[in-house]
A = this chain, B = another copy of it.
Amino acid sequence: MPADPLSRVFSALADPTRRDMVARLAVADATVNGLAEPYDVSVQAVSKHLKVLEDAGLVSRSRQAQRRPVHLEADVFDLMTTWIERYRRQAEERYRRLDDVLQTMPDDVDTPTPSTQTGAPS
Contact = CB atoms under 8 A, between A and B. Distances in A.
Given A16-B4, A81-B84, A91 B69 contact: no
Nearest to A27: B90
Contacts of A13: 10
B14 A104 contact: no
A103 B19 CA distance: 22
Q: From DSSP, what is the main secondary structure of chain A's interface residues?
A: helix
Interface residues of A, number: 48
A33 B107 contact: yes
A74 B92 CA distance: 8
A41 interface: no
A26 B84 contact: no
B105 A69 contact: yes
A115 interface: no
A34 to B, nearest CB: 5
